[in-house]
Structure 1
Amino acid sequence: MNNYNLNSYNNQALDSHVSGVMKRVYVKMFLAMIVTALAAWACTVIPGIGMFLATHSWVYWGVAILELVLVFSLSGAINKMSSSTASLIFYLYSLLNGVTFALIFMAYTPVSIFKTFAITAGVFGAMSIYGYFTERDLTKIGSFLTMAIIGLFIAMIVNLFWANSTLEWIVSIAGVIIFVGLT
């Protein structure tokens, strides 16, 4: 086999491997979104759960903080844990995400929620396509974006107390930029 054929074979094998990995990632992401949606739906339709979360803010904030702890622990230890452990933590995160989203679903109209999810899905898809076809190494900006997401969380807490509508727009735009980078 000459060098050209060997390189062509290696590229095909790599493309096939990457394609398989990407398919598994998207299946897991899809399943996690289903878990999130079902948890949010259950919290809004089962009598008392949504009201309990709305009237016991310490529980809601506890769930939100646990959600962040899971994100940071998964991000920090992903290379050290087994695939099944990482998947379990990811699905637990998805469940908690649904619980925190439940109050949002109760506060906003289905149309506004649909628009938000459609925009997010579109951005995720576009950035995934860009990441798949680009030759650039995009991992270099990860630590910067991790710090930026901490800043986003702090800004959201500040906005909670002052309810500054201008800040809401800034946080939304910053959130999109940060999550585009993380995607």
Structure 2
Amino acid sequence: MYMMNPDEYNHPALIPVDGVSSICALDFRMDEWGIDVALTGSQKALSLPTGMGIVCASPKALEAAKSAKSVRVFFDWNDYLKFYKMGTYWPYTPSIQLLYGLRAALDLLFEEGLIILAVEAWGLKNCTQKEEWFSDTVTAVVVPSHINSADIVKTAWKRYNLSLGLDLNKVAGKLQLLGCLSG
């Protein structure tokens, strides 16, 4: 897929991407596509608890911020850049647990790839019947007939303190949803 990069035309517009539900679930090429600001959260495709916002900014966006007139109270890149240059990386108290979780999630992503490929390797079936209909951000896995998916949800909560969604209506007890884990 080719996406026109506006930098090829020396246009001053910045291109932001709200990738909260897609970054790490879909192919994303910030530099190649000329994206200037990309935002995601820990709670989606990274499969971490909520609480971490991840922002990436291009050199063009960092330069534009220097002359921006908007008031920035909650988040200012200058604080982070100043501390980064000093080698301390964080101007405020970071959530160390989320950073450790992020490291582990990225290690899994780089090691295993995106999860939709694992469904077949596990000997399970995707609920979607044709590959061209597969979702890039949610995978519904058909649970073997001798297992009730509600039991999977209960066990995940009791044993691993992991919260999973339940299937409903006609597929109740037959599917397990893996949100934002495919690709």
How high is the TM-score relative to the length of structure 2? 0.25
How high is the TM-score relative to the length of structure 1? 0.25
Looking at secondary structure, tell me which structure has more strand per residue: 2
Looking at secondary structure, tell me which structure has more helix per residue: 1
Which of the pair has the greater relative contact order for Cα pairs under 8 Å at 6+ separation?
1
